[in-house]
Amino acid sequence: MYRPQIKVFDCTIRDGGLINNHFFEENFVRAVYKALSESNVDYTEVGYRNSKKLFSPKEYGAWKFCDDAVIRKVVDGIDSKIKISIMVDVERVELDDIKPANESPVDMIRVASYVKDVDKAIHMVNDFHKKGYETTINIMAISRDQGPDLDEALDQIEKESNVDVVYIVDSFGSLYQESVEQLVKRFKSSIKTKEIGFHGHNHQQLAFGNTIEAIIHGANFLDGTVYGIGRAAGNCPLELLIGFLKNPKFDIRPILDLISKEFISLRDQIEWGYIIPYAISGMLNEHPRAAMALRNSDKKENYREFYESIIDSDLD
């Protein structure tokens, strides 16, 4: 059995780009886009639209900026019904740089926001909505921010925004199934006119299980990445999600081919997946930046020392 309302949302290039500063070659992005199109995934997110006044193109690859011309070059000639998404962060994009949707290859713009910045996110999505885009607000680091401010933010989103989807984002990979159930129900109690989405990180190997839990309680927009690629421990593996859904619309075979041809070798070049420092950051509800720094140091396997350093910093 399957629920037709469910949309599978791929974040492979966008989340994967957080590992290598978005320096994916165009041929690789095209191969990913082609395989996802053949698999009938609903959306794919190709990167960020960040201001070049804030981020240097010398330090970051093209998918940090997602110029329309670059996107068109990659997708040109591929017969596809998949919708293209980009992500923007609050206060990191020039709104005037976003052309009307009928002049762009982009179909959806997702706004990443912390609870404290929801008013700014609402302003942004309403601007994008007027320009003809589908939109989401992705509430980040929600494991750290579940107090009354969250309820106020959800109420504000429901009443003041034209957003299509509101996302629960487990940025630190810290949530367990009980928390996912509670959050989806909490979102749905406030959000009556928009869809709910879930974006999980895999620090404790729970991204897939938590995504299933979100499905059970009514989340219809579900994020995943090919072979689980993403910052630190990565994300819910797209192939597992498609296998679980049992929707005949989706074809897992092109994704399996893509993993064989592109991702096995890529995994030897850049690191992601279940690794103990990332598990520790998930257990302790910490941002993985310290774990990522450890993995780039000469103490990369000093797990106990790392664990104790996090504990000690929390006690300070």
What tens digit of pLDDT does each residue of 96-125 get?
999 999 999 999 999 999 999 999 999 999
Task: Identify whether 1 is part of a domain.
Answer: no
308/314 Cα distance (integer angstroms): 10
Whether residues 192 and 285 share a domain: the answer is no
Residue 19 has pLDDT above 70, yes or no: yes
Task: Identify whether 71 is part of a domain.
Answer: yes
Question: What are 26-39's pLDDT values in tens digits?
Answer: 999 999 999 999 99
Residue 143 belongs to domain with CATH number: 3.20.20.70
Identify the pLDDT of residue 313: 81
Whether residues 193 and 106 share a domain: the answer is yes
Whether residues 301 and 152 share a domain: the answer is no
Whether residues 18 and 67 share a domain: the answer is yes
Domains in the chain, number: 2
Identify the pLDDT of residue 316: 63
Average pLDDT for the chain: 97
Whether residues 19 and 156 share a domain: the answer is yes
Whether residues 303 and 232 share a domain: the answer is no
Number of helical (H) and strand (E) elements in the chain, helices listed first? 13, 8
Whether residues 42 and 87 share a domain: the answer is yes
Whether residues 259 and 281 share a domain: the answer is no
Whether residues 285 and 250 share a domain: the answer is no
Task: Identify whether 142 is part of a domain.
Answer: yes
Residue that has been written with the tokens 């960020």 in this structure: 48
Whether residues 304 and 204 share a domain: the answer is no
3-state secondary structure 16-60: HCCCCCCCCCHHHHHHHHHHHHHHCCCEEEEEECCCCCCCCCCCC
| Structural domain range at position 299 | 276-315
**Residue 165: what are its φ and ψ, rounded to 5°?**
-140, 140
Question: What are 220-273's pLDDT values in tens digits?
Answer: 999 999 999 999 999 999 999 999 999 999 999 999 999 999 999 999 999 999
Whether residues 169 and 286 share a domain: the answer is no
